[in-house]
Structure 1
Amino acid sequence: MATNDVEETEQIIPNEEVEKVNEPVSYLFIVLFYFLGATCFIPNNFYVTANEYWMFKFRDPHIPFNNSDTQKTTLQKKFTAYTNMVGSIGMILFLFITFAISKKVSLQKRIVGGMFLLLVLFCITLLFVFVNTDSWQIGFFVIAVGISGLFSASTAVLLISLFQLSARFPPRCMAAQLAGQSVCGILSASIQVLTLLAAPTVKGTAGLYYAIATGVITATTIAYLTVSKKSEYLQNKLENDPEEEEEEEGEETSSKKFDIVKIKRVLRKLALILVSLTLCGVITQLLHPGLTALIESSGKGTNVWSDSYFLPVCVFLLFNTMEFIGRELSNHIQLIWLTAVVFCCDSVVRETDKLLMNCYMLEQTLPLRSKELEELDSLKELIKNKRPTLTAAGFFEIRRSTLLSLLSSTTTYFIVALQFNSL
C-alpha cells in the first residue's frame, strides 16, 4: 500500500516540479507578477466602486444632484446589479473561450491583448466622465453595462493567461500574483478616498480616479513589454510550453498524466473543499458589490462622512481589507490543517471498519472448513486486535466527532463566561 502511494505521488509531482521550487528567480519577476496580478483585478475594483460618479450619471437630470438624497432613480438602483450580472456572465463565458483558444493563440498575444483591451476600455470610461450624457441616459446605461462585460471578458483571458505563465515560474511568482490581486482592492478603495479629498467635484473625483487606474495599467503594460523583450529568461518561459513537451513524449505518457480514475479519486477527496469554495464565491458575488453598493449610512444627509466617505470606507475598503487579512491568516493559522488531520485520522478508522465489514460479507460466500475461510478468520482476528486508534497523546481519540465536541465545549464555556459577566 505504501509503495503504491509513493508511486502515485511521484506521478502526481514530477521531478520537474520539484526542480522548479528550487529554481532561483530574480526579485524583478516577483515585483512584475505582483503588478500583473493587481492589474488583472483593477476592473473589478475600480470600475463600479466609483459609486458617487455613477449615481451622478444616472440621476434625474431635472433635479439638482444631491448625494445625500435617499430617493434613487431606477437606473441608479439597477446599475450595480446589472454590471455584476453581465460581468459574471462575461467572466464565465470567456474562461471557457480562453481554454478553447489556448492552443491556437500564443500566451504572449493573450497577455498583451488582454492588457491592451483593459487600457482601451479605461480610456473610454475616462472619456465618458467629461461627456454630458443627461439626454441619453438609457443609451449610456447600456454602454456602461456592456463595457463592464468587456472588462470581465478581458479579465478572464488575462487571468487564465497569467496563471499559465506564473505556473512556469517558481511558486514565489504565483504567490506574488495572488498577493497583488488581494492588495488591488485595498489600493482602489484607498485611492477612491484620496480622490474624494483631492477633487471637490464629482467629475473631478471620477476623472482622477479612473486616470490613476489607466496609468497603472499603462505602466504595467510597458514594464511587461520591456522585460519580455530584454529578458531571455522570460522569453524562454513564454516560448516553452510544458504541455506541448509532454504531448511530444508519446501517447503512453499522456495517458498516464490524464488518468480519469485518479482525477475522480482526487475530486472525491477535495469535494468538501470545492463545495465550500464554490458556495463562498457564489454568495460573495451575489452580495458584493451588487447589494452592498446600495448600503447607506443612517446619518446620511447630516455630515460629509455619511454622504461621501461612508460607502468607500465601510463597504469597499473594509471588505477588501478583511479579504486580504483572511487570505494572509490562512497561510499562518493551522486550523485548516488541523481539520484536515482530523478527517484523515477518521478516514483511517472508517476504512478499517469497512474492511472488517467486507470480511464478514465475504465469509458468507465461502464454504465451511475451507482454507480460504480459515485465512479470512485470521484476518478478522488481526483487524479486531490491531484496530488502529489515533489519539491526541493518549488523552482522547481523534474522530470527526472531535470537531463537534470542541465546538460544543467552546460554545458552552463562552455562554458561561457571558453569564458570569452579566452578574
Structure 2
Amino acid sequence: MGVVVRSPKEPAWEAGGAAKAGRPPGDLLTDPHSYHLVGISFFILGLGTLLPWNFFITAIPYFQGRLAGANSTTKTLGTNHTSPADTFNFNNWVTLLSQLPLLLFTLLNSFLYQCIPETVRILGSLLIILLLFILTAVLVKVDMSPGPFFSITMASVWFINSFGAVLQGSLFGQLGTMPSTYSTLFLSGQGLAGIFAALAMLMSMASGVDAQTSALGYFITPCVGILMSIVCYLSLPHLKFARYYLAKKPSQAQRQELETKAELLQSDEKNEIPNSPQKAALPLDLDPEKEPEMEPEEPQKPGTPSVFIVFRKIWRTALCLVLVFAVTLSVFPAITAMVTSSTGPGKWSQFFNPICCFLLFNVMDCLGRSLTSYFLWPDEDSRLLPLLVCLRVLFVPLFMLCHVPERSRLPILFPQDAYFVTFMLLFAVSNGYLVSLTMCLAPRSGGGGGSAEGPGIGRWATL
C-alpha cells in the first residue's frame, strides 16, 4: 500500500517548491497518471522553449550556403560555406540578435505579467514562434537573393528569441507554484533541446534526399515540437494535479514573499546590516492559516529592496555565472561553427561540424550539468570557483587557432581534428558543470536556501 502512494507523493512536497503551500488532497496522491502526465507536459514544454534557438544555430551551414549565392540551397545541408568574402558575418549576427532580445524581453516580462494574462503570454508566444518557423521552412523552397534572405532571417531570429524570452519567463513563473520536481523536468527538457536539434540535422543529412528537401524536413521538425508544446500546455488545466497547484498561485506567491523577507531580515540582523529598509517590518506572522495584515500597497513596496539585498549576497556566484556564459557565447557557435575537418573532402568532413561541434557540445553539456547531482565542488566561499571560471577564457584563443582554412589573419596551431574534439569536450563539460554549480550555490549564498528570489536573480544573470 505504501509503495502505491509513494510514487506521486514523494516528489510532490518533499522536494520543496509548492510543499509549503500544503499537502494535496488524497485523491491526487492516488492518481499517479495525472502526476506523470504533468511531468511529461513540463518536460516537453522545456524542450519546446529552446528548440528554436538550437535549430537555428545548428543550421548555420545551411544559412551560410544560402547567403553564398541565390541557388545555394542545392548545396549540402551540413557543409561549411564560410569564406573571407562573407560580408554578412552571419554567426556573429545570430548570436547578437538571439541574446539581446532574450535579455530585453526577460526584463520586459516583469511588467507584462501585470497587464497581459499568463495564458495569452504563453499561448501567444508559442503560436508566433510556430508561425515564424513555418515561414523559415517555406523559405527553403523560395529562391531569394542573399540580401533579402539575410534580412528576413535576422528578423525571424529577433522575434523568435523575443517571444521565447516571454515564454520562458512566464513558464518559470508558473513552475514557481509547482513542486521543484517539475522545474527539474523542465530544465531537463531544455538541456535535451540541443541534442535533439543536432540529431535532427544528422538525420536530415543522412536521409539521402537532396539538400533542399533535407533542409525542409529539418525545419518542419521544430514545428512539430512546438505544436506538441501547445497541446501539452492546453492539457494542464484538465489534469487534477496541475489544477490543484496552479489554482493556489496568488496565495502561495504572497506567502513565499513573506517567508523570503523574513529570511532576509534575519540574515541582515545576524550580519548587522545598517539601515535595512525592512527592519520596521520584522514582526511577520507566517502562520498559513492567517491572512497577513498589511496595507494595500505593502506587498509591492518591499520587492525592490529585497532583490538588491539578495543580489548583494550572491554577487560572486552571479558574476561567475555571467562570465561562464560570456565565454561560451563568445565562441559557440560564432567561432566553433567555422572549424572544419583537416582530413579533406569526404563523408567525415561533411558530418564533422554537426557531430564534433553541436552534438558533442550538447551531450557533454548535459553530462556536466548532471554532475552536480553527485557533488558540489568548489563551494560558494572558495576562491577556486572564480579561478575555474576565469580559466575558461583560455578556450577563446584555443578555438581561434584550430583548423579554419579560409582564414588568413591567424595561424593554424591545432590542425588535427583531435585537438578540436578535445577542446570542445572540456569546453562543454566545464560549461554545463559550472552553470549548474553556480545555479545551485546562488540560493545557499542568498541566505537560508529557501529564498525564492535568489535563484531568480541567478537565472536572470544567465541571460
Tell whether the structures are fold-level matches, with TM greater than 0.5.
Answer: yes
Instruction: Confirm or deny: 8 A CA contact 1:53 1:202 kept in the other structure.
Output: no
Matched with 2:429 is: none
Out of 327, 347, 359, the position equivalent to 2:369 is: 327
Matches within 5 A, 1:400-411: none
Instruction: Confirm or deny: 8 A CA contact 1:43 1:151 kept in the other structure.
Output: yes
Matched with 2:333 is: 289
Determine the C-alpha separation between the residues in 2 that align with 1:204 and 1:73: 27
Counterparts in 2 of 1:78 and 1:109: CA distance versus 1, 3 Å: same
Counterparts in 2 of 1:190 and 1:16: CA distance versus 1, 3 Å: closer
Matches within 5 A, 1:286-365: 286-301=330-345, 303-306=346-349, 308-336=350-378, 339-340=379-380
Asked if 1:241 is matched to 2:285, the reply is: no
Determine the C-alpha separation between the residues in 2 that align with 1:127 and 1:285: 29
Deviation at 1:292, TM superposition (A): 1.6
Out of 187, 190, 197, the position equivalent to 1:181 is: 190
Counterparts in 2 of 1:236 and 1:105: CA distance versus 1, 3 Å: farther
Counterparts in 2 of 1:16 and 1:318: CA distance versus 1, 3 Å: closer
Counterparts in 2 of 1:256 and 1:218: CA distance versus 1, 3 Å: closer
Determine the C-alpha separation between the residues in 2 that align with 1:51 and 1:138: 16
Instruction: Confirm or deny: 8 A CA contact 1:30 1:173 kept in the other structure.
Output: yes
Out of 94, 110, 124, the position equivalent to 2:121 is: 110
Determine the C-alpha separation between the residues in 2 that align with 1:16 and 1:239: 15
For structure 2, list consecutive stretches of 5 or more residues without a partner in the other structure: 1-15, 258-290, 384-463
Deviation at 1:257, TM superposition (A): 9.2
Which SS does the other structure have where 1:335 is aligned? coil
Determine the C-alpha separation between the residues in 2 that align with 1:21 and 1:317: 42
Deviation at 1:196, TM superposition (A): 0.8
Instruction: Confirm or deny: 8 A CA contact 1:91 1:153 kept in the other structure.
Output: yes
Matched with 1:191 is: 200
Identity %, equivalent residues? 23
Matches within 5 A, 1:262-277: 263-277=307-321
Asked if 1:125 is matched to 2:136, the reply is: yes
Of residues 34-43 and 240-249 in structure 1, the stretch that sits farther from structure 2 once superposed is 240-249
Instruction: Confirm or deny: 8 A CA contact 2:121 2:167 kept in the other structure.
Output: yes
Determine the C-alpha separation between the residues in 2 that align with 1:173 and 1:257: 30
Matched with 1:35 is: 44
Q: Which has the larger radius of gyration?
A: 1
Which SS does the other structure have where 1:103 is aligned? helix
Deviation at 1:20, TM superposition (A): 5.0
Q: Return the letter of the residue paired with 1:287.
A: V
TM superposition score normalised by structure 2 = 0.63
Counterparts in 2 of 1:232 and 1:30: CA distance versus 1, 3 Å: closer
Q: Return the letter of the residue paired with 1:131.
A: V
Out of 76, 83, 86, the position equivalent to 1:74 is: 86
For structure 1, list consecutive stretches of 5 or more residues without a partner in the other structure: 1-14, 344-423
Determine the C-alpha separation between the residues in 2 that align with 1:168 and 1:106: 16
Counterparts in 2 of 1:341 and 1:196: CA distance versus 1, 3 Å: same
Of residues 85-94 and 248-257 in structure 1, the stretch that sits farther from structure 2 once superposed is 248-257
| CA RMSD in angstroms, aligned pairs only | 3.0
Which SS does the other structure have where 1:31 is aligned? helix
Counterparts in 2 of 1:199 and 1:212: CA distance versus 1, 3 Å: farther
Deviation at 1:72, TM superposition (A): 5.5
Asked if 1:258 is matched to 2:259, the reply is: no
Matched with 2:180 is: 171
Instruction: Confirm or deny: 8 A CA contact 1:34 1:177 kept in the other structure.
Output: yes
Q: Return the letter of the residue paired with 2:318.
A: L
Determine the C-alpha separation between the residues in 2 that align with 1:245 and 1:70: 53
